[in-house]
């Protein structure tokens, strides 16, 4: 019994000693932090100043967007089921049983390299895309980075290493282009939102309108070309067959292709109908300068505390 009592007393004494040591260490730790208070103040102030400088020098980015509804696609109804095999052979999409969602297809084409390259070249927007620095609201003009682009000489002057050239390639332009444009489909409503971010709100709104027009024209042209090719194939088959039932089927398919071409030619909003058009935004979308300053200051404080703790444990 006495041995157990002695062991218990020794354990309590050891526990109390450890607690005392911890308290002493904690006091030493607070003392080390207090001694390093100027390190905390200086590093935090430096980070705060740097974050303020960085945030102030960031250009305002404006976002313009438009809300679109998928245009109603003409369905062939029962004809698609009856003539599906022959229609597939002719490359004809009768719509009702087609597996391709034209809305999603249009969005993917909008994001494609081919469409982006044609869009950039068509409207000659490479300087606005790759060299725009800020926007002058008084004169409504885009100001370019002089290290990248000489406006007076209309010449690219940026210094880059091979394989890059002073004038940005289409691969470089695509990487930048795909970051500032957005096309998203709401799965619940089916509505599509197309948006553009740019230092100029005017340019952002203009590009949204151009994107909508061009994707409608692109999809229209694709369907017209497909319908014409299908019509040529079906016409050849009509000339080669004398069976009345097959000829009736082929005439039906030719009629569907004629309808496709007719609707494409009379409808400008071929894939997307504009519900809420793009406007020139009055307020910037980013950057969040206050948040940048707060995070920068907080980061500086954390780093200064880590430095002090590292020095403390290094001495220990």
**36 and 83, same structural domain?**
no
CA gap 205, 81 in Å, rounded = 43
Q: Are residues 193 and 51 in the same domain?
A: no
In a domain, 8, yes or no: yes
Residues 69 and 53 in one domain: no
* Angle at the Cα of 258 from the Cα atoms of 257 and 264, rounded to 5 degrees: 90
Phi, psi of 160 (to 5 degrees): -135, 160
- Whether residues 87 and 226 fall in one domain: yes
Least confident of 9-13, 238-242, 259-263, 282-286: 9-13
In a domain, 120, yes or no: yes
- What CA–CA distance (Å, rounded) separates 64 from 205? 5
Strands (DSSP E) found in 108-233: 132-136, 141-144, 149-150, 155-156, 181-185, 192-198
Got the DSSP string for 204-262?
HHHHHHHHHHHHHHHHHHHHHHHHHHHHHHHHHHHHH---HHHHHHHHHHHHHHHHHHH
How far the first Cα of the chain sits from its last, in Å, is: 41
Half-sphere exposure of 110 (CA within 13 A, CB side): 30
CA–CA separation, 201 vs 294, rounded Å?
27
Q: Is residue 202 part of a domain?
A: yes
Q: Of 26-30, 199-203, 305-309, where does the model show the most confidence?
A: 199-203
Residue 165, in any domain of the structure: no
Radius of gyration of the chain (CA): 34
| Residue in 100, 107, 103 with CA at minimum distance from that of residue 183 | 107
Residue 134 lies in a domain: no
**C-alpha–C-alpha distance, residues 316 and 304, integer Å:** 19
Whether residue 260 sits in one domain with residue 183: yes
Question: What is the domain range of residue 92?
Answer: 62-126+176-286
Peptide bond into 123 cis (omega under 30): no
Distances 121 to 114, 133, 252 between C-alpha atoms, Å: 11, 21, 41
Whether residue 166 is contained in a domain is answered as no
Task: Give the Cα separation of 144 and 134 in Å (integer).
Answer: 7
Candidate ranges 27-41, 239-253, 268-282; pick with highest mean pLDDT: 268-282
Claim to verify: residue 239 and residue 103 sit in the same structural domain: yes
- Indicate whether 236 belongs to any domain: yes
Summary mean pLDDT of the chain: 82
Count of domains for the chain:
2
Q: Are residues 93 and 45 in the same domain?
A: no
Claim to verify: residue 51 and residue 182 sit in the same structural domain:
no
Q: How much is the pLDDT for 87?
A: 52
Quick check: is 233 in a domain?
yes
What pLDDT, on a 0 to 100 scale, did the predictor assign at position 236? 84
Same domain, residue pair 241 and 109 = yes
Strand (E) or helix (H) holding 274: strand 272-276
- Determine the pLDDT at residue 254: 85
* Residues 201 and 106 reside in one and the same domain: yes
Lowest mean pLDDT of 18-22, 113-117, 291-295, name the range.
18-22
For 42-93, write each residue's pLDDT tens digit: 889 999 999 999 988 888 999 999 999 998 654 443 344 445 555 555 455 5
Q: Are residues 247 and 111 in the same domain?
A: yes
Quote the pLDDT of residue 72: 67
Examine the domain organization and report whether 187 and 305 are in the same domain. Answer: no
């Amino acid at each position: 019994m006495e041995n157990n009592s002695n062991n218990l007393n020794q354990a309590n004494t050891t526990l109390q000693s450890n607690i005392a040591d911890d308290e002493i260490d904690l006091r030493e730790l607070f003392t080390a932090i207090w001694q390093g208070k100027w390190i905390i103040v200086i590093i935090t102030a430096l980070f705060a100043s740097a974050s303020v400088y960085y945030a102030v020098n960031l250009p305002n980015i404006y976002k313009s967007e438009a809300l679109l509804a998928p245009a109603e696609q003409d369905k062939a109804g029962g004809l698609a089921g009856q003539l599906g095999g022959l229609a597939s052979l002719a490359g004809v999409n009768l719509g009702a049983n087609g597996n391709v969602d034209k809305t999603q297809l249009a969005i993917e084409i909008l994001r494609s390299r081919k469409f982006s390259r044609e869009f950039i070249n068509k409207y000659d927007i490479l300087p606005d895309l790759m060299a725009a620095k800020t926007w002058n609201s008084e004169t409504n003009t885009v100001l370019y980075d002089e290290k990248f682009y000489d406006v007076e000489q209309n010449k690219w002057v940026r210094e880059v290493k091979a394989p890059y050239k002073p004038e940005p390639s289409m691969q470089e332009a695509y990487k930048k282009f795909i970051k500032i444009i957005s096309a998203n489909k709401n799965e619940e409503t089916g509505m599509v939102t197309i948006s553009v971010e740019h230092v100029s709100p005017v340019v952002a709104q203009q590009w949204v309108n151009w994107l909508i027009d061009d994707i409608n024209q692109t999809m229209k042209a694709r369907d017209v070309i497909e319908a014409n090719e299908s019509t040529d194939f079906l016409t050849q088959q009509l000339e080669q067959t004398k069976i009345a039932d097959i000829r009736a089927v082929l005439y039906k398919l030719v009629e569907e292709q004629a309808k496709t071409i007719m609707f494409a030619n009379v409808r400008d909003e071929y894939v997307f109908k504009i519900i809420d058009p793009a406007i020139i935004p009055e307020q910037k979308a980013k950057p969040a300068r206050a948040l940048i300053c707060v995070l920068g200051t907080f980061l500086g404080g954390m780093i200064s505390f880590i430095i002090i703790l590292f020095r403390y444990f290094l001495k220990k």
